[in-house]
């Protein structure tokens, strides 16, 4: 392999300052509840409004949001919910015999209280609320607490708020950042305590999720967006460039990477990216993202390219390769896979139905990201009777004797005939 363009910045780290700031926020909210939340909202969000979104705000949003925007969001909710429902139907409870008198199985049980964090960001992302909340609703969560920053005219952007309502959020709060994560994890006078927290966010949100993990469950710690396009000599440099920049514009720290078996495609794509960037707003994060984090890699063979894809374990892996479906079984480390050059990552970002809360920074080695299964528990059970009791008790008695566990041995022995 050869880097035609190498990233100028090689590592993202959470600074000690971020870690300590978040630690302090969590401690203060645990101690002072709503008062601390309000203090941090004033400090970081310039907001002094009540944290709970009122019924009047919800009614106003439902009444005044333009119908064409509602149609778009409704479609997102419906498609994300439909895909989550199809996934849930694959999770099958069972019970069967594993020897005479030994019945075991598992049940699929929804997590009761879900916390959903929806970032405000630079733009009101219409799909972010449904992506986090709708699968929890499908899973059967009884309470879905949603937090999003009050960064639009003193409240949550109406389009984001509508998405939360339509997706099934039961309690909505105009709180952002680490203070939102702390409030949901530990509860305050206003914010209910939850069992699991999901959703993307900035480095403070990510660090807060890391610090509260254990007190609550989390989906994953997601960093800035990532995309890797894997292309051969049949690919279109312009389409590749467009797909790279679509993710680069998410964040100055986003990573847009091309791996290709064609040096010609590599060089032409760089030219296309630089040409297209001239049409972007000077304030677009895509400029800094491409300059600092963009990469173009020339691979000497298709197999070397596949190895690179699996090694990078990227969030979005997009195949601009002839007969790309044939490569499916050779790829196993990615957040989500996009098969053929027209399966744009943007479709998934917006409306196709798969979830866009995905693993970054090589976390795709061990998780596929947020899905309906993130909101259920697989609970095992067993019932032992008759000959099953004698068989298992005899084994447990012998094993406990070897291990030196008197209580374990006793519990088995009293059940032996």
**Residue 316 annotated in active site:** yes
- The Cβ of residue 52 has, within 10 Å, a number of other Cβ atoms equal to 15
| Sheet of strand 226-231, all strands in order from the earlier edge strand to the far edge | 2-5, 295-298, 255-260, 226-231, 314-320, 334-339
Q: Which of 316, 318, 320, 356 is catalytic?
A: 316
pLDDT tens digits along 237-255:
999 999 999 999 999 999 9
Query: What does the pLDDT read at residue 356?
Result: 94
**Residue 97 annotated in active site:** no
Instruction: Write the CB contacts of 162 (distance below 8 Å, at least 6 apart in sequence).
Output: 61, 62, 65, 69, 70, 73
Q: What DSSP state is assigned to residue 213? A: B
Q: How far is CA 10 from CA 165, 233, 310, 412, in A?
A: 40, 28, 19, 57
Q: How far is CA 304 from CA 60, 181, 297, 309, 379, in A?
A: 56, 41, 11, 9, 42
* Rounded CA separation 69/124 (Å): 12
Beta partners for residue 230, in sequence order: 259, 319
The residue ranges of every structural domain in the chain are: 16-218, 224-366, 384-413
pLDDT tens digits along 160-214:
999 999 999 999 999 999 999 999 999 999 999 999 999 999 999 999 999 999 9
Q: What is the mean pLDDT of each run of 10 residues along the chain (417 residues)?
A: 89 82 98 98 94 97 96 98 98 97 98 96 83 98 97 93 97 98 98 97 94 97 94 98 97 96 98 98 96 97 98 98 97 98 97 96 96 98 98 98 98 96
Q: What radius of gyration, in Å, describes the C-alpha atoms of the chain?
A: 25
Same fold, 16-218 and 224-366: yes
Is 144:382 a contact under the CB 8 Å cutoff? no
Alpha carbons within 13 angstroms on the beta-carbon side of residue 276 total 20
Query: What does the pLDDT read at residue 15?
Result: 83
For helices 177-186 and 34-45, the axis angle rounded to 10 degrees is 170
Is the CATH number 2.30.30.790 carried by domain 16-218? no
CATH architecture of 224-366: 3-Layer(aba) Sandwich (3.40)
Is 1:292 a contact under the CB 8 Å cutoff? no
CA angle, 148 as apex, 367 and 350 as ends, to 5°? Answer: 55
State pTM to two decimals.
0.94
Q: Which of 226, 315, 318, 320 is catalytic?
A: 315
205 closest CA partner among 358, 25, 356: 25
């Amino acid at each position: 392999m050869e880097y035609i363009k190498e990233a100028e910045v090689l590592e993202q780290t959470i600074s000690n300052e971020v870690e300590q700031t978040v630690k302090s926020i969590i401690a203060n909210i645990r101690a002072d509840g709503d008062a601390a939340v309000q203090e941090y909202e004033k400090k970081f969000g310039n907001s002094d409004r009540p944290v709970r979104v009122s019924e009047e705000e919800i009614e106003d949003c439902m009444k005044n949001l333009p119908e064409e925007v509602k149609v778009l969001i409704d479609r997102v909710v419906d498609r994300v919910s439909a895909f989550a429902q199809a996934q849930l139907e694959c999770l099958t409870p069972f019970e069967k015999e594993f020897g005479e008198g030994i019945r075991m199985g598992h049940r699929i049980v929804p997590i009761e209280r879900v916390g959903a964090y929806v970032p405000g960001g630079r733009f009101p992302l219409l799909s972010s609320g449904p992506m986090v909340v709708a699968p929890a609703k499908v899973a059967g969560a009884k309470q879905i607490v949603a937090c999003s920053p009050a960064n639009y005219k003193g409240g949550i952007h109406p389009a984001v708020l509508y998405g939360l309502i339509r997706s099934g959020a039961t309690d909505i709060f105009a709180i952002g950042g680490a203070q939102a994560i702390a409030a949901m994890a530990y509860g305050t006078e206003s914010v209910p305590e939850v069992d699991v927290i999901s959703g993307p966010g900035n480095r403070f949100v990510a660090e807060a999720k890391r610090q509260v993990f254990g007190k609550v469950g989390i989906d994953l710690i997601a960093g800035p967006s990532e995309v890797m396009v894997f292309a051969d000599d049949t690919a279109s440099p312009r389409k590749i460039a467009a797909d790279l920049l679509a993710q680069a514009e998410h964040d100055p720290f986003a990573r847009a990477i091309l791996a290709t078996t064609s040096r010609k495609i590599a060089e032409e794509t760089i030219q296309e990216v630089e040409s297209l960037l001239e049409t972007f707003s000077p304030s677009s994060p895509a400029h800094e993202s491409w300059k600092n984090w963009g990469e173009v890699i020339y691979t000497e063979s298709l197999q070397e390219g596949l190895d690179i894809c699996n090694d990078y374990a990227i969030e979005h892996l997009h195949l601009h390769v002839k007969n790309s479906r044939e490569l499916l079984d050779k790829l196993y480390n990615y957040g989500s896979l996009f098969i053929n050059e027209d399966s744009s990552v943007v479709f998934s970002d917006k409306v196709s139905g798969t979830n866009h809360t995905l693993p970054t920074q090589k976390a795709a080695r061990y998780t596929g990201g947020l899905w309906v299964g993130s909101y259920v528990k697989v609970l095992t059970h067993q019932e032992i009777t008759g000959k099953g009791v004698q068989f298992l008790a005899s084994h447990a008695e012998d094993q406990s004797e070897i291990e030196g566990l008197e209580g374990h041995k006793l519990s088995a022995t009293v059940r032996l005939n």
